[in-house]
Amino acid sequence: MGTKTLSIPNISCGHCVMTIKNELGEISGVTKVDGDVDKKEINVEWDAPATIEKIKETLREINYPAAE
């Protein structure tokens, strides 16, 4: 299982967090997504077949790229 906290500078409200949760939740293997609007962060937990690369790719596709 993988766990990662990602900084997402584009988060500005609860709706942003819900969009991210919904989109990442559709990835097979993602088990948990939590977000913090104030910190502009999300916490993601996943198992195979999900990967951090797939999660980051999905975030870029929905216009919430993770800061490196």
pLDDT for position 68:
72
CATH fold group of domain 2-61: Alpha-Beta Plaits (3.30.70)
Q: Output the pTM of the full model.
A: 0.93
Do residues 52 and 2 touch, judged by C-beta distance below 8 A? yes
Per residue in 9-65, pLDDT (tens digit) is 999 999 999 999 999 999 999 999 999 999 999 999 999 999 999 999 999 999 999
pLDDT for position 17:
97
pLDDT for position 27:
98
Domain definitions of the chain by residue range:
2-61
Do residues 58 and 24 touch, judged by C-beta distance below 8 A? yes
Phi and psi angles of residue 18, each rounded to the nearest 5 degrees, phi first: -65, -40
- Tell me how far apart the terminal alpha carbons of the chain are, to the nearest angstrom: 21
